[in-house]
Amino acid sequence: MDYSDGLLFVIVFDSLRRRSIAYGREGFALIAVIWTVAVLSLLVCSFSLDAYMEGKAATYVRNRHQATALMNSGLTLAELLMSRQEKVSGEETEEEVAKDRWIAPAIRLKRGQRVEVSQRLMFDASGQLQFETEDVTSVTNQVPDAEIFVAIEPEPARWNINKLTRAGFGDNADLIWARILTVAGVPEEEQSALVDSFYDWVDEDSIPESTDGAENDYYETLERPYRCKNGPLDTVGELLFIRGFDRNNGVLLKGGVWNPEDPQDRQILVRGIESLFTTYGAGKINVNAAPREVLLTVPCLEDADGLIVDTILEEREGLNADAPTASAKVRQTARGSTASLGAAAIKDYHFSDLSDFLARIPGLSQEDANVYLTVDCSIYRLELEGRVGRVTRRATAVVQRGGASKTRASGASGSSELVILRWQEES
């Protein structure tokens, strides 16, 4: 190869080298651009996700605050009804009921019956919550944007558990407990141990009621020892600390299988008894407000099929108005007005006193009724709920009429101001 050929080779090689270097730089630049776009895309997605989550969190916090405010406003609504019950007579016309939606619930409250009211709210054009009216509701039966719910029930609709002792009911306390545990489904042979352990927990001495009872010598030997209270319960949930009531993580309170360790064909289902109790009130059961499950546990109302209890429920609500078993009061009241909603709302079927109760529920003695039953009430349980969108806030309160020495089912006296005895919010 002569000089010219060598020179040509060098020139070609150098040209290829330069072109390769140029192509390499262009490839690196392309890769760098791709990586940069990818990183920027990730950052944009991350910022968008953060903004979305922050927006959702802000919306939730705002709705939660609004729901809490609505829940608390339910207390004001309850106070309004407490005040209104003093001003209604029960003789209001259908026209009056139609014009004022609070009359009917105020009358039921005056009669010592459970009351449930709700108030729908809608967002107006400016985004503010307003009570539902024709101006802010454009579509009939439109789902409300928010809602307030309030239920008011006399607290004597439940047993005051601190009164279910021999000091409170004498020997009748044993009868009440036997009825409660029997209705719950607890085997009879295991009932005495539960009752004696309860008595030992709330009495002031340290002497066991029986060999089935439990005082400090039992509780101090537990894996996590504690002392017997020897005093009244502060809450119904405190039953979980009592021997026997703590069985299977408190199955007797909430309901479930009593003996899961046994074969399935021998397992026993028990009903929860927690809802039967309160720690407030004089102890007797208000026959105008007590639900069926509570009435079934009253010894003097015991029968094989619960027919007495069903009769009470039908009588106090007038559900048997067309039946031949209806009392004269129910038949007369049912004939006294038309079947319109307004009239039905103000019909008076409640038991005005125990004499009225005994006259309409045959087969019961005055003596038994005086021991277990009442129509009086001064303490109420409130169920409060506020909802905005999908966010709901709930609370349960026990309140007493401030300044009122006594509030009767047939009337009320004193101040309508509410004194909160207990307040519990759902987390």
pLDDT tens for each residue of 309-346: 999 999 998 887 777 777 777 777 776 644 443 444 56
Q: What is the 3-state secondary structure (H, E, C) of 340-363?
A: CHHHHHHCCCCCCCHHHHHHHCCC
What pLDDT is stored for residue 260 in this prediction?
92
End-to-end CA distance of the chain: 94
What pLDDT is stored for residue 414 in this prediction?
42
Three-point CA angle 102, 107, 110, nearest 5°: 125
Nearest 10 degrees: Cα torsion 101, 104, 107, 111: -140
Q: What is the mean pLDDT of residues 25-46?
A: 75
Selection from 156, 159, 181 nearest residue 168 by Cα? 159
Q: Is the pLDDT of residue 159 over 50?
A: yes
Three-point CA angle 259, 262, 268, nearest 5°: 40
Backbone torsions φ then ψ of 265, nearest 5 degrees: -75, -10
User: CA 101, CA 91: separation in Å to the nearest integer?
Assistant: 15
Three-class secondary structure of residue 370 per DSSP:
helix
pLDDT band with cut points at 50, 70 and 90 for residue 10: very low
**What are the pLDDT digits (tens) for 382-391?**
999 999 988 9
Q: In percent, how much of the chain has pLDDT > 70?
A: 84
Which residue did the predictor score with more confidence, 217 or 133? Answer: 217
Amino acid letter at 268?
Answer: I
User: CA 163, CA 278: separation in Å to the nearest integer?
Assistant: 10
**What are the pLDDT digits (tens) for 52-93?**
777 778 888 888 999 999 999 999 999 989 888 888 887 777
What pLDDT is stored for residue 366 in this prediction?
94
Q: Is the pLDDT of residue 45 over 60?
A: yes
- For residues 363-382, one letter each, b for 16 or more C-beta atoms within 10 angstroms of the residue's C-beta and e for the rest, the string is ebeeeebebbbbbbbbbbbb
Q: What is the mean pLDDT of residues 109-129?
A: 83
What is the radius of gyration, based on Cα positions, of the chain? 35
